[in-house]
Structure 1
Amino acid sequence: MATKKTSKKASSLPSKSKFTAQEAAEWILESSDEESDLESFLSQDEEDFLEGVDPDLEISPDADPDWAPEEGTQAAFEEGEEEVLEEGEEEEQASTATQPPPKPKRKVNKGRGRGRGRGRGRGRGRGRGRGRGRGRGRGRGRGRGRNQSEEPEQSTEPWQGTDVEDITPEQPVFKPARVPGPQILSGVQYSVLQLFLLFISNATLQTIVKNSNLYGEKNHPSTWQKITLQDLYSYIAMVVYMGLVKAKQIRDYWSRSELYSFSFPPSVISGKKFTAISCTLHLSSPDDDAANERKRGRSGYNRLCKIQPLYDAIRAACKANFHPRQNIAVDERMVKSKARIALRQYMKDKPTKWGYKLFVLADSSNGYTWDFFVYEGKGMSISKGLSYDSVMQLVDTRVLGQGYKLFVDNFYTSPALFKDLLAKKVWACGTIREQRLGYPSRRPGGLTNRSPRGTICWIREGPLVFVQWKDTRDVRFCSTIHPAHSNHFVQRKVKEADGQWAEKSIPAPPGISDYNKNMGGVDLSDAMIGYYNILHKSRKWHRSFFYHFLDIAIVNAFILHRELAMEKEETPLTQKEFREALVSELKAAGSRSTAPPPSPPPSPAPPGASHRLRHFTQDTTAGRRRCVHCSMKTTSECSSCKVALCCLVSRDCYNDWHTLNNL
């Protein structure tokens, strides 16, 4: 008699035609556990990344390196259908005599391989984190996904010391796709505004004007007044000015109070128009936003829809106007924001803890932002791990060329990445984590707590060299560029036996100096942006990106200005002077301000004139003027000075103002 096949999935319906209420309850619980555990798996990988861990490229530090199936054990499951059998688990008995006898129980070691296991046990599986008994669990058993047995087999060769010579690896032949440096017309005298418009062109600004007008007419039909390109010039001039001259609140720039009295902002744009543009600034078409919103939760939904036009334009402009030199760096950047959106990330170890995460490729020599992309969260398509994919997406050899030297930190460095980069003729160097897959952490002969300062241990595996160096702490890095050691020394202050500090030369790997010199390309760009950061708080996330894109454009334009000045052997402007010139040129290209001109200083009363208070209107509400001292509305003035002044118990501006002006 033919036997019925039972499904391997824990959530499948039992083969019995009748089952008890207890069995039904267990089956329902089993199905619900499967759903919740899948959700836990998705959130756990996201939490790992926010802690600076790439789940696809790192292993658990407490994993058992010696895990292996016992002899005679054969995994008879296809990929995606593996099982985790726990100690003490009993197979369910066949419900009828026609069912085949149960298979013998397989015993699995307690080693905790990294993987997502399908556990059929009733208890908590030996899971990494959230493995539940019945249903899909994230387990330390022989689960679906990576475990320790998937690591590349490592030889038993121990770590070497400096007494063993290392080979000098093949050095890159630099073949850039274009001549490195500015990619603009030589011999042309560019103004500051022209350099800025290379990155955010008039066509891009016209798109912003068009979309902002559509958004304003849609949401404020009765009060919205259309803006022009000249209005947007004036608005950007004021935004850049705010990065140079700080005030506590935006309205303080247009305050008539004696404590502020800024004369420049009212000459650029009125406070009312500035606020109106800030509230309706829109980078994308409202119709495109509505169409994209209907796709939310389905394929085709674009999280970056509201910034896409400017996002695409400035990325293309950054790559078009400059070509990097040989040394480049990839690192993260945080754009400060607390807007409630899925793009926002929390990085507890970063100076900017809340904000949007960008992956950036920069020229190490000057900090030029050559390319970047926004991290969209766990919805991003990832094939070999976020750190691997981020670098491969930014390092496009079709546009860059070959022979580049890439410097990355320990979030990105992995043997797999460096080998694949070398296959594309890109050499790399970076610090590496001990838990990274492929790192020979279990070889004998490495650094110990008793190793003296300056000790170097190394292992070479083909084009890769792994180096451990004892400084104030253990430093680990990997390189395809450098030999493990050479006659290279660094200066360090060392405490002598008598308690005195002395400067000594200690041996150091040659890759350390290159890494310290060239890894800071993105940090240099961040620093230049931070000096005169124009970003201010906004409830709308796309406006935060607009302000940051302005900063990228200004800093890159400033770097171009400096490069051109050095070619002509001229003294370049400082960044402060560059921004000041940009504000002046934007103001000149903008629309004439509708703000009232600042009040001229009062002329002194003629000699012998008597000062007395009088009311210029009998109506207590209509016809009032603003007091020149406190800016509050009043009905009184000085008959000789012809200026409105309050004269109340709570504020005696009449006497205060005359005393202040020696009248």
Structure 2
Amino acid sequence: MWRREWPYNFTFPRSYMTRDTFEAMFWSLHLCDIKEDEENQKKKGTPEYDRLFKIKPLYSQIVTACNSLFQPCREISIDERMVASKARIGFRQFMRDKPTKFGYKLFVLAESCSGYTWNFFVYQGKSANVQGEGLSFTSVMDLMNFALLGKGYHLYVDNFYTSPALFQQLATNHTAACGTIRQTRIGFPKTKVNDLPKKAERGDMRWLRKDNLLFVKWKDTKEVTVCSSVHKAYSGDSTRRRVKEDGQWHNKNIPVPDAIRDYNRYMGGVDLSDAMIQYYSVRGKTMRWYRTFFYHFVDIAVVNSYILFKLSAIGRGETPMSHKRFREVLMKEMVDEAQAAVAAAAPRPSLSTTCMPMYFGQTATDQRRVCVVCKDQGRKVKTPVYCSKCDVALCFTSSRNCFKDYHLRM
């Protein structure tokens, strides 16, 4: 970014900050108090040790900002997010089925339609104490901050989280839920009476109810099982699928249960947020794990800001600018704000530290002294002008500028 040879001769950021200044700031970047961090390191190996202490101040501020600046619409989703890293640290995870396989795992609650990241927490590994129903249960209940979020939401989750116990607990908090479910989950109906046949056709479905929960099996390319506490079994909707009949492939409308239709529509909130972050991520290479989180927190802040800006523009009946253009305008405004702050904080030069022509008295005739430049040249010329810093008399007229000559030879 600071190279001057073509094609890298960019005026920005070189015209606003030198490379050495940027590197000095980056190398000095810390997200917590260094002395407090040293005290925390002394507790390593004890229950009082905080593995995330290095990022805790900014981590808490970002989560609080995400919670307080936006109220999600009814449909929300919870899923995992991977922040890419190969750092050798205890809570780095490997997830085989994710595009980013190595990194830090975050559990994220996002609005389904816009992708706004409303709440999240960093998974610290098996060393963290997980009580009660297990990680899938506690992670959902931790993210669903009912005191701030409120009630009446429709939550969509995948089969890692879905369980009858979780959905029943959410129902007691007036929150409905829907998600794919593993048939080995405790509480899943064991009956085979209403099961799909082995050679079921695409679009076949079976369902049953247990208490207030609906369990649906639907045949797509393979069998899909969904649990819901909000949907009807089937209301007559259909979806387009490619079906092979008589050796020919063609599109066909096949029936789809309401729960699976809405699951496909609203489950992708976290994936949408991940995609928007990856489009223009600020993440750079670093050997410090806490700086990786710093980059990701900046990404979350910028993407959430763009979503708020976009929703506000749509609410006013305007066409919102693109994501890329929003980032460019944001960068320009941040640079202007920083320049204005520097200019306001810079001390104004005082008369005692700056060379400026001044009169000895209130007027030009109050007092005169011999000009030091004229005196050196053998002339005795008196002048009412003197230098405020050097405190010497100097001529300053239309025909002679000893003030300039004196300072040029210094």
* Larger strand fraction of residues: 2
Q: 1:419-438 counterparts in 2 under 5 A?
A: 419-438=168-187
Residues 617-642 of structure 1, C-alpha deviation per residue, up to 9 Å, x if partnerless? xxxxxxxxxxxxxxxxxxxxxxxxxx
Alignment-derived partner of residue 470 in structure 1? 219
Partner of 1:158: none
SS class of match (2:13): helix
Counterparts of 1:286-325 in structure 2, within 5 Å, are 286-325=34-73
Residue type of the alignment partner of 2:18: S
Amino acid at match of 2:312: L
Task: Report the CA distance between 1:442 and its aligned residue.
Answer: 5.2
1:276 aligns with 2:24: yes
Who is 1:543 aligned against?
291
CA contact (8 A) 1:337 1:537 kept: no
Distance of 1:442 and 1:381 partners within structure 2: 35
Cα deviations across residues 591-630 of structure 1 (Å, max 9, x unaligned)? Answer: 59xxxxxxxxxxxxxxxxxxxxxxxxxxxxxxxxxxxxxx
**Could you say which residue in structure 1 is the equivalent of 2:150?**
401
Q: CA deviation at 1:491?
A: 1.4
Q: Does 1:512 align with 2:227?
A: no
Residue 313 of structure 1 aligns to a residue in which SS?
A: helix
Q: Of residues 140, 147, 164 in structure 2, which corresponds to 1:391? A: 140
CA contact (8 A) 2:77 2:110 kept: yes
Tell me how far 1:282 sits from its aligned partner: 0.2
Deviation, 1:492, is 1.2
1:353 and 2:84 matched: no
Q: 2-side partners of 1:500 and 1:258: how far apart?
A: 56
In the alignment, which of 260, 270, 276 is matched to residue 522 of structure 1?
Answer: 270
Shift of 1:443: 2.8
CA contact (8 A) 2:194 2:207 kept: no
1:366 correspondence with 2:119:
no
Higher RCO, 1 vs 2 (CA within 8 Å, ≥6 residues apart): 1
Which residue does 2:336 correspond to in 1? 588
Give the superposition deviation at 1:435.
Answer: 2.0
1:66-111 CA-to-partner distances (Å, cap 9, x unmatched) read: xxxxxxxxxxxxxxxxxxxxxxxxxxxxxxxxxxxxxxxxxxxxxx
State which of 126, 130, 137 in structure 2 corresponds to 1:378: 126
Aligned to 2:368: none
Count how many residue pairs are aligned between Structure 1 and Structure 2: 340
Mean CA deviation greater in 379-388 or 305-314: 379-388
* Cα pair 2:206 2:217 within 8 Å, conserved: yes
Instruction: Identify the range of structure 1 (316-325 vs 394-403) with the bigger mean alpha-carbon deviation.
Output: 394-403
CA-to-aligned-CA distance 1:3-42 (integer Å, 9 cap, x gap): xxxxxxxxxxxxxxxxxxxxxxxxxxxxxxxxxxxxxxxx
Q: Secondary structure at the match of 1:323?
A: coil
DSSP 3-state at the match of 2:185? coil
Residue number in structure 2 paired with 1:193: none
State the secondary structure of the residue aligned to 2:215: strand
For residues 337-352 of structure 1, what are the structure 2 equivalents within 5 Å? 337-352=85-100
Do structure 1's residue 334 and structure 2's residue 85 form an aligned pair?
Answer: no
Q: Is the contact between residue 456 and residue 485 of structure 1 (CA under 8 Å) also seen in structure 2?
A: no
Give 1:552 shift. 0.5
CA distance in 2, matches of 1:328, 1:447: 30
Gaps of 5+ in 2: 341-410
Q: Does 1:412 align with 2:147?
A: no
Give the 3-state SS of the residue equivalent to 1:412 in structure 2: coil
Is the CA contact 2:178–2:229 (under 8 Å) kept in the aligned structure 1? yes
Alpha carbons 2:179, 2:227 under 8 Å: kept: yes
CA distance in 2, matches of 1:537, 1:575: 23
Query: 2:82–2:106: 8 Å Cα contact kept in structure 1?
Result: yes
**CA distance, structure 2, for counterparts of residue 269 and residue 342 of structure 1:** 37
Distance 1:258 1:504, change over 3 A: closer
Aligned mates of 1:258, 1:532 — CA distance in 2: 24
Q: Distance in 1 between matches of 2:158 and 2:193?
A: 25
Runs of 4+ with >6 A deviation: none
After superposition, give the CA deviation of every residue in 1:199-219 in whole Å (9 maximum; x if it has no partner): xxxxxxxxxxxxxxxxxxxxx
Question: Normalized against structure 1, the TM-score is what?
Answer: 0.50
Cα drift, residue 278 of structure 1: 1.5
Question: 2:407 maps to what in 1?
Answer: none
Distance in structure 1 (CA, Å) of the matches to 2:26 and 2:339:
17
| Contact 1:343–1:376 (8 Å) recurs in 2 | yes
1:293 counterpart letter in structure 2: Q
Task: Mark the runs of 5 or more structure 1 residues left unpaired by the alignment.
Answer: 1-252, 593-663
Matched, 1:575 2:323: yes
Question: What amino acid maps onto 1:348 in structure 2?
Answer: R
- Kindly report which structure 2 residues correspond to 1:251-270, keeping only aligned pairs within 5 A, or say none: 253-270=1-18
Aligned partners of 1:272, 1:398: CA distance in 2, in Å? 47
CA RMSD of aligned residues (A): 1.5
Equivalent residues of 2:91, 2:104 under 8 A apart: yes
2: CA distance, partners of 1:575 / 1:366: 13
